Amino acid sequence: MKLRLTLLFFFFAGAAFAQDSLFARRLVDTLTSPYFWGRGYTHDGMGKAADFISGQFKTYGLQPLDGKDFMQPFTFNANTFPGSMDVAINGTSLVPGKDFIIGPESRGVKGDGKLVQTDSIHFIDRKNRIVVTMQDKLTWSVEQGVADYTAIDLLKSVVKEQLSSISINVENKLFENFKTGNICGMVRGTVKPDSFIVMTAHYDHLGGMGDKTYFPGANDNASGISQLLSLARYYVQHPQPYSMVFICFSGEEAGLLGSKYFSENPLIPLSNVRFLLNMDIVGTGEEGITVVNATVYPKEFAMLKQANDAGHYLVKVASRGKAANSDHYWFTEKGVPAFYIYTMGGIKAYHDVYDISKTLPLNEYNHLFRLIVAFNTALMKDNTAFANKN
């Protein structure tokens, strides 16, 4: 695996790439590989991803945003599951990630117990403080603390009889002050280097649940990182009047932590940011894109739609209001104009083990890339820039 990854590194280092879906596909394949283990907290997945992205920034020719290092370090707590993940219901062993997920707040537990039904979807093992919940879909997340119980979400379709017993061996570990960081680079502007257009995406995902199951995170958000890296390479080769800033956030899945840290400890003056464009879950697009904050910044949304109409890029550019659903949010709260773009249509895998590169279509990758370039160009040509910022 390490040899294959090294070969991919050399492949990426070559300067002969076209900005196309082949580039994105190989990036997504790499970032979702077992080597990065879901870009989370065990197997050093997040750290390996940070090193990889920093290496790409350096290879492309970006400058560190602080002039010294691509990494902006910070820490936070995270509950993790590095070892055993064994659950059996009614004597039948279950498959982690496919048949069940562990509640991200859960404490570790080992033992046998009886399950008592409390309502139509909940069962309790009182002795071991275990709550089992029947679910139509398994969706995992990250928690920063540990509860005094263990929660299990069980897929309804695997249940063939009344739940009566449970056998469990789950290990957890609370990482206190988990060390990570945002990866920040820049292409300096040729005319107005102190004015910035910022492109962002989070590189972290959920990591592993036990020592045999990990969550690849292809659409969420290897797709956004791939698009950001494509744009970074392009702008190194085509410097713009404004400085183009690229930030890959950590800690998004744990509560938008990396973007919050950067917004409170900015490496550039936030008042000089013309616009920020956040890309999260952008691997499909047959039904177009949705733009969060479109109603907050109607002028820029009109510019984006005009760019799309002129280039015939995407079938739809849909408007959505303000929402705290990705890393743009903290910047909006600081008065930085920002959009969050996500694609629509295609696969529905989300925060599960099925969000894999193989089924991620990337069918509108090229068109989204061109739309973003066209939009950024329009922003820099806007003579009223900075005049009416919220």
pLDDT for the residue numbered 240: 98
CA distance 155 to 130: 16
SS3 per residue for the chain: CHHHHHHHHHHHHCCCCCCCHHHHHHHHHHHCCHHHHHHCCCCCHHHHHHHHHHHHHHHHCCEECCCCCCEEEEEEEEEEECCCEEEEECCEECCECCCEEECCCCCCEEEEEECEECCCCEEEECCCCEEEEEECCCCCCCCCCCCCCEEEEEEHHHCCCCCCEEEEEECCEEEEEEEEEEEEEEECCCCEEEEEEEEEEECCCCCEECCCCECCCHHHHHHHHHHHHHHHHHHHHCCCCEEEEEEEECCCCCCCHHHHHHHHCCCCCHHHEEEEEEECCCCCCCCCEEEECCCCCHHHHHHHHHHHHHHCCCCCEEEECCCCCCCCHHHHHCCCCEEEEEECCCCCCCCCCCCCHHHCCCCCHHHHHHHHHHHHHHHHHCCCCCCCCC
Phi-psi region of 251 (alpha: psi -120 to 50; beta: other; left: phi over 0): left
Name the least confident of 14-28, 80-94, 260-274, 333-347: 14-28
pLDDT for the residue numbered 17: 38
pLDDT for the residue numbered 7: 40
CA distance 277 to 268: 16
pLDDT for the residue numbered 387: 52
Asked if the model's pLDDT at residue 14 lies above 50, the reply is no
pLDDT, tens digit, 9 for 90 and up, residues 58-76: 999 999 999 999 999 999 9
- Provide the b/e sequence for 175-207 (b: ≥16 CB within 10 Å): beebebbbbbbbbebeeeeebbbbbbbbbbbbb
pLDDT for the residue numbered 383: 75
pLDDT, tens digit, 9 for 90 and up, residues 199-245: 999 999 999 999 999 999 999 999 999 999 999 999 999 999 999 99
CATH number of the domain located at residue range(s) 2-79+176-381 in this protein: 3.40.630.10
Token representation of residue 83: 């070892």
The boundaries of every CATH 3.40.630.10 domain in the chain are: 2-79+176-381
312 CB-contact burial (10 Å; exposed 0-12 / middle 13-18 / buried 19+)? exposed
Going by pLDDT thresholds of 50, 70 and 90, the confidence category of residue 386 is low
pLDDT, tens digit, 9 for 90 and up, residues 108-125: 999 999 999 999 999 999
Residue 54: how many other CB atoms lie within 10 Å: 20
Q: Between these two residues, 384 and 184, which has the higher pLDDT value?
A: 184
Residue 69: how many other CB atoms lie within 10 Å: 13
pLDDT for the residue numbered 384: 74
